[in-house]
Amino acid sequence: MNKKSVGLTGSILGCLIGLLMLILGLYMEKYMNTPDLLGAVIGALGIILLQLSVTNTSEVLLKSKYPEVNEKKNREMRDERNMIIRQKAAEKTNYAMLLVYSFIIFTLLIMDVELYIMLLMAAAMAAHGGLSIFFYNYYEKKM
Amino acid sequence: MEESSLKNKLEELRKNYGITQEELAEKMEVSRQTIISIEKERYNPSLILAFKLAAMFRVPVEEIFIYEEE
Kindly give the pairing relationship between strand B6-8 and strand B65-67: antiparallel
Number of neighbouring beta carbons within 10 Å of residue A56: 17
The confidence score (pLDDT) of residue B65 equals 95
My answer on whether A56 and A98 are in the same domain is no
Question: pLDDT: is A7 or A133 the higher one?
Answer: A133
My answer on whether A107 and A134 are in the same domain is yes
Q: How confident is the model at residue B16 (pLDDT cuts 50, 70, 90)?
A: very high
If DSSP codes are grouped into helix, strand and coil, which group holds residue B27?
helix
Interface confidence (ipTM) of the complex: 0.85
With beta carbons under 8 A apart, name residues in chain A contacting B46: 80
My answer on whether A47 and A25 are in the same domain is yes
Q: Which chain A residue shows the shortest CA-CA distance from B30?
A: A79
Residue A43, in any domain of the structure: yes
Dihedral through CA B30, CA B34, CA B35, CA B40, nearest 10?
-170
Winning range, highest mean pLDDT, from A39-43, A120-124, B21-25: B21-25
Residue A72, in any domain of the structure: no
Residue B65 gets which letter from DSSP? Answer: E
Residue B68, in any domain of the structure: no
Report the interhelical angle of A80-111 vs B32-39 (nearest 10°).
Answer: 100
My answer on whether A132 and A94 are in the same domain is yes
My answer on whether A53 and A93 are in the same domain is no
Contact B34 A82 (CB under 8 A): yes
Q: CB of A80 within 8 Å of any CB in chain B?
A: yes
pLDDT tens, residue by residue, A44-66: 999 999 999 998 888 888 777 77
Contact B26 A75 (CB under 8 A): yes
Burial class (CB in 10 A: 0-12, 13-18, 19+), A131: exposed
Percent of chain A with pLDDT over 90: 36
Domain enclosing residue A91, as ranges: 80-142
pLDDT tens, residue by residue, A73-109: 888 889 999 999 999 999 999 989 889 988 988 898 8
Residue A23, in any domain of the structure: yes
Residue B45, in any domain of the structure: yes
> For residues A26 and A44, what is the distance between their CA atoms, to the nearest angstrom?
10
Task: Provide the phi-psi class of A37: left if phi over 0, else alpha when psi is between -120 and 50, else beta.
Answer: left
Measured in whole angstroms, how far is the alpha carbon of residue A37 from the centre of its chain?
Answer: 22
Does residue A33 have a pLDDT over 90? no
| Whole-number Cα distances in Å, B58 to A36, B45, B64 | 71, 18, 10
Total domain count, chain B: 1
Residue A75, in any domain of the structure: no
My answer on whether A14 and A58 are in the same domain is yes
The confidence score (pLDDT) of residue A36 equals 67
CATH number at residue B33: 1.10.260.40
With beta carbons under 8 A apart, name residues in chain B contacting A79: 30-31, 33-34
Number of neighbouring beta carbons within 10 Å of residue A21: 20
Q: CB of A71 within 8 Å of any CB in chain B?
A: no
With beta carbons under 8 A apart, name residues in chain A contacting B31: 75-76, 79, 81-82
Domain enclosing residue B32, as ranges: 6-62
Residue B31, in any domain of the structure: yes
Residue A32 gets which letter from DSSP? Answer: S
A78, A81, A84 member nearest B33 (Cβ): A81
My answer on whether A58 and A35 are in the same domain is yes
Burial class (CB in 10 A: 0-12, 13-18, 19+), A92: exposed
Predicted TM-score (pTM) of the model is 0.68
